[in-house]
Structure 1
Amino acid sequence: MKNLFKPIMKNILKLLLLTALLSTEIISAQYTDVINSNRPGKSMMAFSVGKSVIQLESGVFAIKEEHDLIGYDANGFGVDFALRWGVIKEEMEAVVEVQYQNDTYTSPIEEYKRSALRTTVIGAKYLVYDPNKYYEQKVNIRSWKANQGFKWRQLIPAVGVFAGANLNFSDNPYNFNTNIIEPKVSPKVALITQNTLGTRWVLVINIIYDKITSDFKSLNGIITLTHGINEKWSVFGEAQAYDGDYYRDGVFRAGGAYLINSTMQVDASFSKNIKDTPSIMYGGVGFSWRFDKNYQEVRIKSPEDRKKDKANKSAKKKEPKLNKNKEKKLKKSKDEE
């Protein structure tokens, strides 16, 4: 089973990586009129929340875990928390992610309770490329369908990068191998692509290299497809692949979100992995809230305005030269007189 599973996971990760790289050959300001949350999926979108905007994303979940070979099971609950804060530039945000879990572990020989911060990550995300930043769409006044339909340039994604660190300052009972001590700090990096397809579909791909300097390093891939049903409701489907020396798995997630107002969202989701060593099921609900009172609108000039600015700068550079030429001619004419 192990020998068969390893090439399957590598092929899934290669497919995700190839899709992301093909997309990177090729939405204006980061701030949107309504909250844009990473929940309830596990992927990270390419865009930041906007400079000076603070966004909190949290949730509670129930977990059931069973291992067919060892014969143990674990049942409990957990809490997810993420802080996103737009800092320095419109394209950048600071990120803090924490997951706490509490469960009861039961095997044929023992039973005990476990609880710990399962993951703690701090870092920063930066939008490297936005294909629509200086793009002006021509409006077809005769066809609403033409304006709202699919366009080939939508295959050009926004591209972001994330760099951060996993923090591990206590004995973690949720390590993949409890006999090996994880380092206190280990790097985490990610490549992020995001496509808006039409007006109601969003495709996000994450390629993640996690715990790089540790024995638990892994290459992970996530692909998330979200569909907006209407102005309030949206649904999503997600697939994630893990490929590491100590853990390989695939996870599928599905769920939906409801927009309460422009700054608040609630969500629910369910996830299931494909292995039975162990078999893991999650189910949870969440809430996202945005504080944007300090946000100052960032205006992006149209291509025509940028051309005018460029022309004006060129004209100003030439003005001193023209003046000097005139002065030389005047001086020459005076000398001749």
Structure 2
Amino acid sequence: MAVAPYRMYLHSISVYLLLIVFFAGLSTRAQYTDVINSNRPGKAVSAYAVGKNVIQAEAGLFYEMQDHNLINTESDIFGSDIALRYGLFFEKLEIHWEGIFQQQQIDFLNIDLQETYTNFYRNRLGLKFLLFDPYKNPERNKPNLYSWRANNVFQFKNLIPAISVYAGANFNLGDNPFYPDDPIVSPRAMIATQSKLTPRMVLISNIAYDRIGTDFPEWSYLVSLSRALRNPKWSVFIENQGISSDRYSDILLRGGVAHLFSENFQADLLLGGSFKNTPSRLFISSGVSYRLDFHNDDPIPIEDQDRIGRNSMKNQGKPAGMSKKELKKLRKKERKARKKKKNDWDIGS
């Protein structure tokens, strides 16, 4: 049976918009900034944690069309996805819950039957730990004071990624029509990498082994390339995902745009689709990311200020790798040290 005209129209519009986002992301020159460190609007997971004592919520609404040529069905799916992230104990550790709650209405065209499935498509809890961060080396963070090009173009050393590991579990509660044969708990493991290719562009990759020990274990990969626009409050991304399982295998393409309203609030839009027709998938999603920042930076000792570039701070701006909050605290500590030194001199004289 042919696809209904309205579905063909939505398919054409979605593909067209996805191509616009893709080419915008490849052609726009801009400066990359990581403020809220959100995983949205894509599905790839950053290698970095949100930070100790930071609470972050990432939530959105989505709609998806599915057409399965082999069994001749059409589906409309509405749902909400949410992630809650918390920086646990120290900077490198994050606890992460992900949930997708959806309703899928399936039309079986051969037998004139309609069914509706409602439940959690994803209900996952895990821990992520940063194993390696190439930017921890202070020598790597020093800017080249003699070459703008050296600081702003791709260099092979930029391919060295930050690496984190993830361990968690899926929870299949109740009579779930999406995973009818799965146990209540099934483990998941993942490796996430992140490379800052240029100040404007970031590459993230994930390799995951999911639903371990079930009848349908799943391998997947994600590769996501993001860059900011000329206005650094805007960014775009393109993402590819591959899934391999006896239950479901596919290759997906996503593209999206995000806007940073403040250091703690981001909104986004995503479009995507699949490359097969068993089923074919087209989806659109929009959401927000928001964080409550209770993070406290460790004080920087006065004796370490020269090591991190106090003179560069005065003459060149803040050192590479130092946040605005760290810079503000460092300058405040310098002023207190100078004032104390002056008072000690007055008392001694």
TM-score w.r.t. length of structure 1:
0.76
Considering only CA atoms, is the larger Rg found in Structure 1 or Structure 2? Answer: 1
Residue 165 (structure 1) aligned with residue 169 (structure 2): yes
Write the mapping of 1:1-337 to structure 2, written as runs, cut at 5 A.
34-108=35-109, 109=111, 110-136=113-139, 137-175=141-179, 178=180, 181-229=181-229, 230-292=231-293, 294-298=294-298
CA separation of 1:127 and 1:93: change in aligned 2, threshold 3 A: same
Q: Please list the CA deviations of residues 303-323 of structure 1 after superposition, one character each: whole Å capped at 9, or x if unmatched.
A: 9969xxxxxxxxxxxxxxxxx
Identity of aligned residues (%): 40
**Mapped partners of 1:139, 1:46: distance in 2:** 23
Residue in 2 that maps onto 1:329 = none
Instruction: Please list every run of 5 or more consecutive structure 2 residues that lacks an aligned counterpart in the other structure.
Output: 1-32, 309-349
Superposition RMSD in Å: 2.0
**Mapped partners of 2:156, 2:306: distance in 1:** 23
- How many residues get paired? 270
| Aligned-partner SS, 2:134 | coil
**Mapped partners of 1:193, 1:130: distance in 2:** 10
CA separation of 1:296 and 1:303: change in aligned 2, threshold 3 A: closer
**Mapped partners of 2:300, 2:221: distance in 1:** 33
| Aligned-partner SS, 2:135 | coil
Query: Structure 1 residues 112-121 or 123-132, which shifts more?
Result: 112-121
Contact 1:156-1:195 within 8 A present in 2 as well:
yes
Paired letter, 1:206: N
TM-score w.r.t. length of structure 2:
0.74
Displaced runs of 4 or more, over 4 A: 299-306
Contact 1:134-1:303 within 8 A present in 2 as well:
no
Shift of 1:144: 2.5
CA separation of 1:202 and 1:300: change in aligned 2, threshold 3 A: farther
Contact 1:134-1:300 within 8 A present in 2 as well:
no
| Aligned-partner SS, 1:132 | helix
Instruction: Please list every run of 5 or more consecutive structure 1 residues that lacks an aligned counterpart in the other structure.
Output: 1-31, 307-337
**Mapped partners of 1:138, 1:127: distance in 2:** 22
